[in-house]
Amino acid sequence: MNYKELADMIFPDAKEISYYEEKYPRRNLPEGAEVLRVAPSPTGNVHIGTIDQALIAKKLAKQTGGVFFLRIEDTDQKREIEGGISQIIEALKTFDLEPDEGMTSETEEIGNYGPYKQSERKDIYQAYAKYLLEQGKAYPCFATPEELEEMRAKQEVAKVRTGYYGVWAKYRNLPLDEAAEKIKAGMPYIIRFKSPGREDRKIQHKDIIKGKVDFPENDQDIVIIKADGLPTYHFAHLVDDHLMGTTIVTRGDEWLSSVPLHLQLFQEMGFKAPRYAHTPTLLKNDNGNKRKISKRKDPEAAASYYEEIGVPSLAVKEYLLNIANSTFENWRRQNKDLSIDDFEFHLNKMSVSGALFDMVKLADVSKIVISRFTAGEVYNESLKWAEKHDNELVEMLSDKEYSLKVLGIERGNAKPRKDIAKWSDVKENIIYMYDDKFLNSKQEYPYQVISDKESINKILELYIEKYYDENDDKQTWFDKIKDLAGEMGYAREVKEFKANPDSYKAHVGDVSTVLRVALTGRTNTPDMYEIMQVLGKTSVENRLRKAMEN
Ligand code: GLU
């Protein structure tokens, strides 16, 4: 029995690898074009880290005129959930990160390098495993779970590295005839890679993100084909990224330690290895400790969470780029109006260690992103969100013309309002602008410096009777508030008040506050002149009267 015969016995139907090498020719791409992919497993609840991976991969592919594809890694069928692929596809769509190639639904796909779902590639993996068997670079291993357990226990007692390597690799040198006998006898087995590595030798890996990293060579005879005939991650990575023509493997840095093994696999197979870029894990601050964002504990781990609370996907992407490239912030400061697509991303500018993903900072970024939206965009997006999550907001927005005016307050100017971080903030931010909400409910009036009923009512009454004219321009409007302040014996100017604090009880700003609180029930609002313009005469007067009666 020779290697070839054993290989034929194990995989009688597998094709020659030349068949696949021809079927999937090297991609004909311009110089510098990179091929990248995102390769999630359909385990449900797409992680925000997957979005981060996809964003980076797609950006680089686009930037270089290359290809971005989606591969579904479903070889661990125990972890798979129903609808898992659709969830991934939906999430990528939500974030506008659709791939050029890959799965487009649970069963359909686009592109010439498929199938893009690993469970459909069984024949391909087996062909490549057979090739390794033929070369004597792989072998069947008959170790039972008990045997492996026993080996592990012995290794622990002996205080040596655990794993299947060197003298511990019991079936590595099993005579081929014996192996054939066992297979004929129906003994269960898996296929292992015969590692040529030695632990006492070092290799150096040059990671695009992590830089130079030294590792001992791999000497583990890892499993390449499992008992169910499907490959392990390592072997699928080798076969898929080779055949699909990936030029840069971007993946989470939990895979960094597998690089020695992966480089060895490519080497033994005679393939050119891709370049690797191991991206920092997204971390969160948990009471002063940084830890991984966890699907189990943190709602923000789920890519779908942002749609639920109404953070625009654009804001999430902008924030992820912020974390990903230290140069982004500066670029954004200088290019306030450009799209993130115009930002040139560099893998080698990524942080080497973990990247802190902070919900408060995300909210700040989101406020700025939303401040660049037109009133129409804010209207459409918040309505879309409200239709799924908030009926009351839908009802408020049903008066489109008025709502556009409300949302247009302090928007579209040089310093747009930055008070909306997510669509779920919109209601609270604008509810006081709606008469049916404001006038028909009991109001709190948080008056400040001027807080006695008599002065307040005097101010409001004088304002309605003598000073309010809805046709005033902003300057006249403000001058009139000053006049009102003067008439009441308050300082017309804040300066004046500061110079002689003892001569006045309050100043024009305090009078404005009374008006603001009476009109809106709040001390903090966007520009009051604009608010009054939008409310219009009847509403302004009704509101001031209501406040007087309070
Ligand atoms: N399926 C692997 C994971 O989800 C993909 C790693 C890779 O991108 O190669 O971690």
**pLDDT in the model for residue 494:** 93
- Region 150-154: what's the mean pLDDT? 96
Tell the CATH topology of 453-549: Arc Repressor Mutant, subunit A (1.10.10)
Whole-number Å distance, alpha carbon 231 to ligand 1 midpoint, is: 14
Average pLDDT value over all residues in the chain: 95
| Cα 4 to averaged position of ligand 1 atoms, centre (Å) | 32
For CA atoms 55, 57, 63, 66, the dihedral sign is negative
**Where residue 221 falls among pLDDT bands split at 50, 70, 90?**
very high
pLDDT in tens, 101-114: 999 999 999 999 99
CA distances (Å), origin 19, targets 127, 128, 454: 9, 11, 92
| Cβ neighbourhood burial of 436 (10 Å; 0-12, 13-18, 19+) | exposed
> Ligand 1 centroid to 79 CA: how many Å?
14
Cα–Cα distance, 437 to 447 (Å, whole number): 20
Shortest-distance atom of ligand 1 to CA 250: 8
Question: For residue 123, what pLDDT band results from cuts at 50, 70 and 90?
Answer: very high
Q: What residues does CATH 3.40.50.620 cover in the chain? A: 3-14+122-279
Q: Kindly indicate the confidence band of residue 412, based on its pLDDT and cuts at 50, 70 and 90.
A: confident
Q: Percentage of residues in the chain with pLDDT exceeding 90? A: 93
64 lines ligand 1 (CB under 6 A): no
CATH 1.10.10.350 domain span(s) along the chain: 453-549
Q: How far apart are CA 26 and CA 16, in angstroms?
A: 18
pLDDT at 475: 97
d(CA 337, CA 321): 16
Helix 375-389 to helix 423-430 angle (10° resolution) is 100
Indicate if ligand 1 lies below 6 Å from the C-beta of 250: no
- For every residue of 265-321, DSSP letters joined together read HHHHHT-PPPEEEEEPPEEEEETTEEEE--TTT-GGGBTTHHHHHT--HHHHHHHHH
Tell me the C-alpha distance between 17 and 129, whole Å.
Answer: 10
Pocket-testing residue among 85, 255, 279, ligand 1, by greatest number of atoms within 8 A of Cβ: 255
Q: pLDDT at residue 26 above 80?
A: yes
The pTM (predicted TM-score) of the whole model is 0.90
pLDDT tens digits, 203-212: 999 999 999 9
Asked if residue 41 has its Cβ within 6 Å of ligand 1, the reply is yes
Question: Tens of pLDDT along 449-474?
Answer: 999 999 999 999 999 999 999 999 99
For 3-14+122-279, CATH gives 3.40.50.620
Q: Residue 231 pLDDT > 80, yes or no?
A: yes
- The reply to whether ligand 1 has any atom less than 6 angstroms from the CB of 195 is no
Per the omega criterion (within 30 degrees of 0), is the bond before 231 cis?
Answer: no
Residue 153, pLDDT > 80, answer yes
| Pocket residue to mutate for ligand 1, from 35, 38, 41, 239, most atoms within 8 A of Cβ | 41
Residue in 190, 218, 197 with CA at minimum distance from that of residue 133: 190
Whether the predicted pLDDT of 353 surpasses 80? no
Q: Is the dihedral of CA 88, 93, 97, 99 positive or negative?
A: positive
The pLDDT of residue 184 is above 90: yes
For the CA of 53, the closest atom of ligand 1 is 8
pLDDT at 354 over 80: no
Q: Is 359 exposed, middle or buried (0-12, 13-18, 19+ CB in 10 A)?
A: middle
Confidence class for position 169, pLDDT limits 50, 70, 90: very high
CA of 39 to the centre of ligand 1 (A): 5
CB neighbour list of residue 298: distance below 8 Å, 6 or more residues apart: 284
Q: How far is the CA of 168 from the centre of ligand 1 (A)?
A: 29
Atom 5 of ligand 1, residue of closest alpha carbon: 39
Buried b / exposed e along 406-425 (16+ C-beta atoms within 10 A):
bbbbbbeeeebbebbbbbbb
Across 226-240, b (16+ Cβ under 10 Å) vs e yields: eeeebbbbbbbbbbb
Contact partners, residue 320, CB within 8 Å, separation at least 6? 51, 52, 55, 357
pLDDT in the model for residue 386: 98
Query: Rounded CA gap, 74 and 94, in Å?
Result: 22
**Residues 546, 531: Cα–Cα separation, whole Å:** 17
- State pLDDT tens for residues 232-269: 999 999 999 999 999 999 999 999 999 999 999 999 99
Query: Could you read off the pLDDT of 28-69 as tens digits, one per residue?
Result: 999 999 999 999 999 989 999 999 999 999 999 999 999 999
Confidence label for 76 from pLDDT (cuts 50, 70 and 90): confident
SS3 at position 435: helix
Copy the structure tokens of residue 217.
Answer: 């060579």
CB 277 within 8 A of CB 37: no
Per-residue pLDDT tens digits for 370-398: 999 999 999 999 999 999 999 999 999 99
Beta strand ranges found along 58-171 (DSSP E): 67-70, 101-103, 109-110, 138-141
Radius of gyration of the chain (CA): 33
Residue whose CA lies nearest to ligand 1 atom number 4: 40
* Closest protein CA for atom 3 of ligand 1: 40
Within a 10 A sphere around the Cβ of 19, how many other Cβ atoms?
13
Cα(149) to ligand 1 centroid in Å equals: 27
Q: Is 52 in the pocket of ligand 1 (CB under 6 A)?
A: no
Give the pLDDT band (50/70/90) at residue 351. Answer: confident
CA 463, 465, 466, 470 dihedral sign is positive
**Helix, coil or strand: residue 250:** strand
Is residue 39 lining ligand 1, measured as CB closer than 6 Å? yes
Which residues does residue 139 pair with via DSSP β-bridges, in sequence order?
A: 192
- The protein residue whose alpha carbon is closest to atom 9 in ligand 1 is 251
Residue 71: CB within 6 Å of ligand 1? no
Res. 540: pLDDT tops 90: yes
Measured in Å, residue 208 CA sits from the centre of ligand 1 at 17
State the pLDDT at residue 451: 94
| pLDDT for the residue 240 | 98
237 lines ligand 1 (CB under 6 A): yes
